Amino acid sequence: MSKKEFNVAVVGATGAVGRTMLSVLEQRQFPIKNLIPLASERSAGKKIRFAGKEVAVQVLTPDAFEGVDIALFSAGGARSLEFAPEAVKRGAVVVDNSSAFRMDPTVPLVVPEVNPEAVAQHKGIIANPNCSTIVMLVALKPLHDAAVLERVVVSTYQSVSGGGEKAMLQLWQENQSLSEAWRNYSAHESIRDAVALQKVDVSKSQVMAQRIGYNLIPHIDVFQSDGYTKEELKMREESRKIMGLPHLKVSATCVRVPVFMAHSESVTCTFSKSISPQQAHALLKKAAGVDLLDNPQENQYPMPLVYGGRDNVGVGRVRQDPDDANVLHLWVVGDNLRKGAALNAVQIAELL
């Protein structure tokens, strides 16, 4: 019997997530009859390589979804709001990477390692969670299965690729200006002046709110009236929905760091009963989508340098709180473009 194949549209195929989506589809040999890459007019006609062939990028229009079975959206919330219903109207199932539909009670929000059963509830659209939320929950779900999760306090260290192509370019350009300045500085006494070095003027392209080269920005997405950013609230609200824990206490601080790939997170979690680090190790070792890398004596712990380009989420630095046996501290790292976006979306399509 021949295997069923699908017509798959990738919306935002020229972007950071879209390009990762294409490579994940290819690597996982997703059964594709026709691939339809869609983007803005800027990219119309541009050729992309997929499965050994060149395919032309088409402009995103409602009619581009005629005959499409699965549409993977990653072109921003405004495009999702406008075009996802058009794709559904034409018979496609949409997996959407933007935040447009995530908190819609009629739309399942899915991490396949956490709540795969939710996919069955879809009415045409399935939402892919925020990248930091996915990375964190893949690590927390196996622990929650052993002792109920009650509270999470998380600080993120998010790479610039989380802000798309333009944010990556900003870091690259700033690095170039800084290298140039370094060459000039090293000829002078001021090489010893760390403050002056840090303040060297760099290029003016500003996609992020501040300079990111040699800096950290505690500001991702827009600030809300309560002082949290939208990114931080996404981690709270989406975690509650995905875990089916509407009263889960979550407080996040999201920080952009000068790293190109992979988001890292320092997670403090309170459970209903004590879990020892040894128990946590045993649970994480057999968990789907997790690499346990916790061997500090050998300098082994997950880092973005290693986890960019990997499918699994790395978990290490597992410690019991010295003052509360029900609290564990973890260090979690995952590729924001793969597990945080493209891979998770393709896994959802595989569940379909």
Ligand X SMILES: NC(=O)c1ccc[n+]([C@@H]2O[C@H](COP(=O)([O-])OP(=O)(O)OC[C@H]3O[C@@H](n4cnc5c(N)ncnc54)[C@H](OP(=O)(O)O)[C@@H]3O)[C@@H](O)[C@H]2O)c1
Chain residues binding ligand X by CB under 6 A are 12-18, 39-40, 42-43, 60, 74-77, 79, 97-98, 131, 161-162, 164-165, 336-337, 340-341
Q: Considering only CA atoms, give the Rg of the chain.
A: 21
**CA dist 42 to 39, 60, 162, 338, Å?**
8, 11, 22, 25
Identify the three-state secondary structure at position 352: coil
DSSP 260: S
> Min. distance of Cβ 255 from ligand X in angstroms?
15
Q: Which of 122, 131, 254, 269 is catalytic?
A: 131
Strand partners, 252: 154
> Min. distance of Cβ 268 from ligand X in angstroms?
24
Strand partners, 256: 158, 217
> Min. distance of Cβ 243 from ligand X in angstroms?
19
**CA dist 105 to 33, 101, 125, Å?**
32, 9, 11
Burial environment of residue 270 by CB neighbours within 10 A (0 to 12, 13 to 18, 19 or more): middle
The span from the CA of 100 to the CA of 106, in Å, is 13
CA dihedral 261, 266, 272, 278 (to 10 degrees): 90
Active site residue 269: no
Active site residue 122: no
> Min. distance of Cβ 83 from ligand X in angstroms?
8
Q: Which amino acid is at 8?
A: V
> Min. distance of Cβ 225 from ligand X in angstroms?
22
The span from the CA of 300 to the CA of 27, in Å, is 28
The span from the CA of 80 to the CA of 104, in Å, is 13
Main-chain phi, psi angles of 152, to 5 degrees = -130, 130
Please give, one letter per residue, the 3-state secondary structure of 133-193.
HHHHHHHHHHHHCCCCEEEEEEEEEECHHHHCHHHHHHHHHHHHHHHHHHHHHCCCHHHHC
> Min. distance of Cβ 269 from ligand X in angstroms?
23
The CB-nearest residue to ligand X is: 15
Number of C-beta neighbours around residue 220 at 10 A: 22
> Min. distance of Cβ 200 from ligand X in angstroms?
28
Query: Which CB atom, from 75 or from 254, has the smaller least distance to ligand X?
Result: 75
Active site positions, annotated = 131, 263
